[in-house]
Homo-oligomer: A and B are copies of this chain.
Amino acid sequence: MNEADFITALRGLASNPAARGLEDDAAVIELSGETLVLTHDTMVDGVHVLEGQDPADIAWKLVAVNLSDLAAKGAEPVGVLLSHMLGTDDHRFVTGLGEVLEDYNVPLLGGDTVRGEGPRVWGCTAIGRATHTPVPSRGGAKVGDAIYVSGTLGAAMLGFEALRDGVEADSTPYRRPAPLLEEGRLLAPHVSAMMDISDGLLLDCWRMATASEFVAFELESAAIPVADEARRGECIRWGDDYQLLFTAPENTKLSVAATRIGTVTNADFAPLWLDGEVLTPEHGLGYQH
């Protein structure tokens, strides 16, 4: 059973029509007039972070990627719960955790610590409160909408390489991604669909297009802001940038800096186009966990 089949099986559990959060960035639930957003991300040493990476950066990233999921929903954080596998360098983990929680003013609500052999595994659950309803989802893109991305793509890739190779370049974008909470809140009332880019722009565009109904994403390669012009193709396939990808009706006034990179069309027999060519996951669109 592969991951897709596993998720399909979970969704098929009779009593659980709500298992939407497994495929979207986060789960959205209504509770006495409040709309809550819940998300959980797990990280494995050597898979989601470089083996031997500073645990302070691991703690930062663990919390940041979950806050990024809240950002994509326009939600403000209520708190986080952590799952931590004890190691030899836990004081560094505590340091990085303190930094990310303080920078984003997020309370640590609880969690669990365990011992285990083998590669270390960390988990984080973030709970947030939606600031705008309906809460943006992946699935709302409409024909005629413009497609936007915040920031620049590929910065995390360059940071990863700098860290891996020990060269003198800024590895911060890889080690300490910045969840765009404020941007997400400002955008939520105006977007038709939104998600954070965790696995590569092309892959996440493909996901957004297929989650939306009867639409295609037509992207213009040259319009996409990248950190390294000479490696454009890699920049738009590499993950970890945690920029926001969103669609909005033409001429929507945006209060957040973003770049228009394409248009939602009705060419729905193929969900993703780049410079007029059809792209499919077989082309290698991004990082598949």
Chain A residues proximal to chain B, CB less than 8 Å: 1-3, 6-7, 9-10, 13-22, 24, 26-27, 29, 31-34, 36, 38-44, 46-48, 78-79, 81-86, 90-91, 94, 97-98, 101-102, 105-119, 121, 123, 125, 127, 129, 289
Q: A6-B90, A15-B105, A31-B78 are in contact. List 16 more A-B contacts (CB 8 A).
A: A6-B86, A10-B94, A10-B108, A13-B97, A15-B107, A18-B108, A20-B110, A22-B113, A29-B78, A29-B79, A34-B34, A40-B81, A44-B116, A46-B117, A47-B115, A116-B121
Report B-chain residues with C-beta under 8 Å of the C-beta of A98.
Answer: 13-16
Shortest Cβ distance from A44 into B: residue: B116
Inter-subunit contact B21/A81 (CB<8 Å)? yes
**A122: min CB distance to chain B, Å:** 9
Report B-chain residues with C-beta under 8 Å of the C-beta of A38.
Answer: 79, 81, 109-110, 125, 127
Inter-subunit contact A16/B101 (CB<8 Å)? yes
Inter-subunit contact A110/B14 (CB<8 Å)? no
Q: Which of A17, A20, A91, A125 is the most central at the interface, judged by chain B CB atoms within 10 Å of its CB? A: A125
**A128: min CB distance to chain B, Å:** 11
Q: Which of B13, B112, B117 contacts A101 (CB 8 A)?
A: B13
**A287: min CB distance to chain B, Å:** 12
**A59: min CB distance to chain B, Å:** 10
A–B pairs, 30, beta carbons within 8 Å: A6-B94, A9-B91, A10-B82, A13-B97, A13-B101, A14-B98, A14-B102, A15-B105, A18-B109, A19-B109, A21-B81, A21-B111, A24-B110, A27-B109, A32-B34, A34-B34, A39-B81, A40-B110, A40-B111, A40-B125, A41-B112, A42-B112, A42-B114, A46-B117, A85-B121, A113-B289, A114-B289, A116-B119, A121-B121, A123-B123
